[in-house]
Amino acid sequence: MLCARLDDRPVAGSEKGLIVIIKNLVKKPLQLLHLEDDPLDAEMLERILKAENLDCALTRVKTQPEFEAALEQGRFELIVSDYSLPTFDGLSALKLARKKCPEIPFIFVSGTIGEERAIESLKQGATDYVIKDRPSRLVPAIRRALAEAEDARQRQQAEEQVRAQAALLDCAQDAICLNDLNQRILYWNKSAERLYGWSAEEALGRIADDLLFQGDLTSPSAALKSLIRGGGWQGELHQVTKDQKKIIVESRWTLMRDQRGEPKSILIINTDITEKKQIQAQLLRTQRMESIGALAGGIAHDLNNALTPVLMAFSFIRDELVTEDSKRLLALAQTSARRSVDMVKQILSFARGVGGEHAPLQLRHLVDEMVKLAEDTFPRSIQIQSKAAPHLWPVRGNATQLHQVLLNLCLNARDAMPNGGCLRIEASNVILEETSLHGQSQVPGSYVLLTAGDTGSGMDPEILGKIFEPFFTTKEAGRGTGLGLSTVMGIVKTHGGFVEVTSEVGHGSVFRIFLPATSQPPETSSGEENPAESSMGHGEVILVIDDEFAVLEVTKLLLESFNYSVLTAKHGAEGVAIYERHRAEIKVVVTDMMMPVMNGPETIQALRRIDPALKIIGMSGLGSESVLTKAGQLGVQAFLKKPFAAEELRTVLCQLLATEMTVNAPVPTPMVDDQVFTPEGQMGGVGHGTLDIRAESLSL
């Protein structure tokens, strides 16, 4: 920006307009560098400038070192120099100035410069020269020099802007084209070539609708009508490229007019937003899945609370039944209730996705669960076949993640058989050697092979090569996320395994999942239908805290039948008050983790403040990892995942009451099947016994 203060005396023409502009922009005095060894000449220059009301900040230098140092500062807008100095000449100063700051005006003021020298100085790059005996020319020369410098600066900026705009037209990601009113293409930039695949030679003269749209022309027609009415339009358009690839662009149309104001052409700028729209769609699907997961978690909590008294009541009323028919009906009801528990667990496994630690697993149970789910939910036109080796090796993995793998494969198989067919789920032991790896760099050894095969439509080799790519799907919009098989591949790799796929169009597909076998024994199922008779209580007082009335009533009846005395509270605040009154009698507190008024963690903290050594059993219908972790951090000795059987609760109580456990007790080495918490919140053992609350009871 040019900074100078000029006088207000009248001037004519463009100079006046420039002065007005400069005055409007002025914020600081003109920074003027004066090269002069004579103090009288310097004083004369200063008087002339003041007399003409030029607000200048003068910096005077007398030698070459001072002049060079001043140029290095780079803050000057005008240089005025004598032509002859004792140790330094004006032309040398001019050369230095043109080298370091060529844009700054340079004016010679001298009494010794002749016509030839003046012409030579102008050739060397001086802006002007003034004879000392004609001081009246100085201020006009300064104004003219500043005006010319400003003009040069503006011209340079304009040229740079034109060059930049020209480069942007070809380098920007936006496709820019110019059409006439009949949509015939008049201009086609490099970005349009990159986006659509049509070169400028191929596109020019073509009708844009024929080149870029396929079938329905409703959208471009509506855009054109809106453009004619308002002079502009902006929106999204679905277009096609030269190779028939479908894309989505954000299009901005501007109506160009001639000098008479008549419509002349249409400037169109298109931005490819295909990937952006895909990511947005995937994000919306992910958010919907998260919402489903949260909803499923809440439903599971309520269902598990509702099923808890049902399962607990079975063992209580079994001994009360006399006839065989009654006992048989009770057994059927118990089986149905447990099946409902399994279905809730399967729904949560799907909704919550992958997560959790790896542990030894028996995949036979996973296959059985998947077969049950498929039989209950898949169309009856699909036949379900399953087969598992009698002595299947265990694998080390996460049950929820592997359930997700099998579920994704089975859902894809179902979709591939819209008219029915056969779904085959198998599990077998295999030993891979170097010769049996088909050229793949897999580790030889013992594997458990999970197979999911269908008799559906199959896939051609081109599609088969893309199926594990994220967001790739052959399903129509709204039916597939393109994440199912990429999730399968990711989970299998985290388990140290690999996937093989064979498929043929019209003859179905077979997915083979190879998972490394382990020598560690798998975790066993929790509880038995009819466990051995456990020890009865001896009148110990148990405090049960739960906001579900049915859970309280059934738990109270059961524990009293086991020879315990029971106190109940419907929320944490009431439970803490009862414990304060009966602290000496209460031996164990059983509390839910999710309650109104005062929730489980708050209740446990309040009880721990009263008695740090109190034995506490936590329970919840939403046994997520966060709930389990929180319970462990609070020093809960055991945790029951709702719904649980009466025998599980009785076993836990017997072992807690029989084992001397305090908050400061040493932590024994944990056993595989133990699901109890140390005071530090980690899984560990319980004295000399095994508390039979296993992983199946704790996972969703």
Instruction: Please report the pLDDT score of residue 302 as a whole number.
Output: 75
- Asked whether the predicted pLDDT for residue 694 surpasses 70, the reply is no
What does the alpha-carbon distance between residue 697 and residue 523 come to, in Å, rounded to a whole number?
A: 11
Work out whether the CA dihedral 332, 335, 341, 345 comes out positive or negative.
negative
10 Å Cβ neighbour count for 319? 9
What does the alpha-carbon distance between residue 384 and residue 172 come to, in Å, rounded to a whole number?
A: 55
- Average model confidence (pLDDT) across the chain: 78
- Would you tell me which CATH number, out of the four given (3.30.565.10, 3.20.20.80, 3.30.70.260, 3.30.465.10), belongs to the domain 363-522? 3.30.565.10
Higher pLDDT, 488 or 521: 488
What does the alpha-carbon distance between residue 571 and residue 554 come to, in Å, rounded to a whole number?
A: 17
* 371-375, 531-535, 642-646: the lowest-pLDDT one: 531-535
Q: Where are the domains of the chain?
A: 13-166, 172-272, 363-522, 541-698
What does the alpha-carbon distance between residue 461 and residue 218 come to, in Å, rounded to a whole number?
A: 37
φ/ψ bin of 439: left (φ > 0), alpha (ψ from -120 to 50), beta (otherwise)? left
pLDDT (tens digit, 9 = 90+) per residue, 432-443? Answer: 876 555 545 567
Q: Do 172-272 and 541-698 have matching folds?
A: no
Task: For domain 172-272, give the fold.
Answer: Beta-Lactamase (3.30.450)
Is residue 685 very low, low, confident or very high in pLDDT (cuts 50, 70, 90)? Answer: very low
* 26-40, 57-71, 72-86, 165-179: the lowest-pLDDT one: 165-179
Are 510 and 421 a contacting pair, CB within 8 Å?
no
Is 3.40.50.2300 the CATH classification of the domain at 541-698? Answer: yes
- Percent of the chain's residues with pLDDT above 70: 79
Is residue 233 very low, low, confident or very high in pLDDT (cuts 50, 70, 90)? Answer: very high
> Which residues on neighbouring strands pair with residue 129, listed in sequence order?
108
Mean pLDDT along residues 109-136: 81
Is residue 681 very low, low, confident or very high in pLDDT (cuts 50, 70, 90)? Answer: very low
**Paired sense of beta strands 421-432 and 382-388, if any:** parallel
10 Å Cβ neighbour count for 407? 20
Mean pLDDT along residues 364-371: 87
- Would you tell me which CATH number, out of the four given (1.20.1300.10, 3.40.50.720, 3.10.310.30, 3.40.50.2300), belongs to the domain 13-166? 3.40.50.2300
Work out whether the CA dihedral 429, 431, 436, 441 comes out positive or negative.
positive
- Asked whether the predicted pLDDT for residue 22 surpasses 50, the reply is no
**Paired sense of beta strands 175-180 and 263-272, if any:** antiparallel
| The 3-state secondary structure of 576-611, one letter per residue | HHHHHHCCCCEEEEEEECCCCCCCHHHHHHHHHHHC
What does the alpha-carbon distance between residue 155 and residue 592 come to, in Å, rounded to a whole number?
A: 79
> Which residues on neighbouring strands pair with residue 431, listed in sequence order?
446
pLDDT (tens digit, 9 = 90+) per residue, 253-284? Answer: 999 888 788 888 999 999 999 888 888 877 77
Look up residue 450 and give its two tokens: 């999970």
Higher pLDDT, 275 or 307: 275
What does the alpha-carbon distance between residue 314 and residue 330 come to, in Å, rounded to a whole number?
A: 7
pLDDT (tens digit, 9 = 90+) per residue, 152-201? Answer: 888 888 777 766 766 666 666 789 898 998 899 998 988 899 899 999 89
Distance of CA 98 to the CA centre of its chain: 55
